[in-house]
Structure 1
């Protein structure tokens, strides 16, 4: 839960969420109204496309959903395999592993975006990257903080703000509001960057995710929490 994150963890979550918003802004314009990190939107779009008889649009939306789920599965398998022996081997933590995996897939997408013959692979690779990064914050093998979808965060923010209005002395709603702000600003930056630089803009998100990974590694390396 976002309310249980430390300031450092919240900063990391906001950085990753901003990168998710960035690539979703890029992908939304590039694909003409489909999402690469927000699968509820794609599920609705798939239903609407099918109702209208647009089988190509339906396939595009379902394909993105499948790629996203594949990324989730891949990250879950990688982090589960790495987890039990971390203390003995000093290998990356599951959190770091999930970010590196996501950044690697996103890098591959950025490279494909520079090659006309491979451009068709960009959307599914981005979606898989966004699925993988959602394994960054887990508890008991399940996601504890959603990083690429904000509906739950907005509900929590509203509930906690209502509690604040009732006189409950807490500021937990601000953490959820910060996550929403990160994805909103990221999407604006991504959309504007795509209009200027096309798919080359994906390298910005690669740098953001890579920086998040280095930050996690540095904190663990030097014992900073």
Structure 2
């Protein structure tokens, strides 16, 4: 999957021994540097679909388990926040507002962890998400305004979006599909006009993964109730273990990392962190 974005690694005075390979890579790709994570689509694409499935299942379970509170669909929670505010429903305002804030904090924390973990990003983030998805039921009961059981799940799904990146270094949208559907539509138009961007081909599988996950999550919740979150937790843990094995067996490989990649959604001049 080639890069189509004009992002370059900086070659400042501190570039050191890494400056020459970076310039060579840029020259080989017409001055464009691939900042995807991982860099090989053979693992990045299946991982993206698997994580979209995980997000869809967790969101569906949470929606049914926590009185129609979305775990990852913050557009829906924002609408419900607005409706609650217009109705002076302060319990609802607190419920939805705190969920949105915690999801944002998850994305914040996930990005910092991605920068800190470097080439171990996959295993560290996926392992943390597995733990968070598992512990919600251990928290005490609380009023509807503070859905404590849901908070660890929301935090995990916020972090999930910092796991993978496209060729431009942008985080892959794994927990929502509005942008995915829009990009699929614009990609179809670009196919008619000329040709779509390489990322176009990922949009339909992402939507399918999230949708299948939501359907599966509904069945799992009916069968297991609040313990249903252990299923996406097990999937995340399995992927974390696979990430550890690949990172140990193939250190620095594009199958699990990308030495030219910075943290998600970083400025084009940001230094690489996946070393």
TM interval, shorter chain, is 0.7 to 0.9
Distance verdict in 2 for CA 1:171–1:164, change over 3 Å: farther
Aligned residue for 2:124? Answer: 97
Residue 70, structure 1, aligned to residue 70, structure 2: no
Residue 47, structure 1, aligned to residue 74, structure 2: no
Which structure dedicates a bigger proportion of its chain to helix?
Answer: 1
Unmatched 5+ stretches in structure 2: 4-35, 256-275
Cα distance in 1 between the residues matched to 2:41 and 2:117: 24
The SS at the match of 1:200 is helix
Contact 1:99 1:209 in 2 (8 A): yes
The SS at the match of 1:37 is coil
Which of 111, 119, 128 is 2:155 aligned to? 128
Task: Describe the superposition over 1:167-220 as per-residue Cα deviations: whole angstroms up to 9, x where unpaired.
Answer: 638775331110011111101111221122211111110111112212222222
Distance verdict in 2 for CA 1:2–1:106, change over 3 Å: farther
Aligned residue for 1:79? Answer: 114
Q: CA deviation at 1:19?
A: 0.7
Contact 1:158 1:173 in 2 (8 A): no
Aligned residue for 1:163? Answer: 190
Q: How many positions carry a matched residue from both structures? A: 214
Residue 61, structure 1, aligned to residue 96, structure 2: yes
Distance verdict in 2 for CA 1:169–1:129, change over 3 Å: closer
Unmatched 5+ stretches in structure 1: 84-91
Aligned residue for 2:33? Answer: none
- Scaled by the length of structure 2, the TM-score of the pair is 0.69
4+ residue stretches of structure 1 with deviation over 6 A?
1-5
Distance verdict in 2 for CA 1:82–1:216, change over 3 Å: closer
Aligned residue for 2:55? Answer: 20
Cα distance in 2 between the residues matched to 1:144 and 1:73: 12
Aligned residue for 2:269? Answer: none
Contact 2:161 2:171 in 1 (8 A): no
Contact 1:75 1:133 in 2 (8 A): yes
- Scaled by the length of structure 1, the TM-score of the pair is 0.83
Aligned residue for 2:30? Answer: none
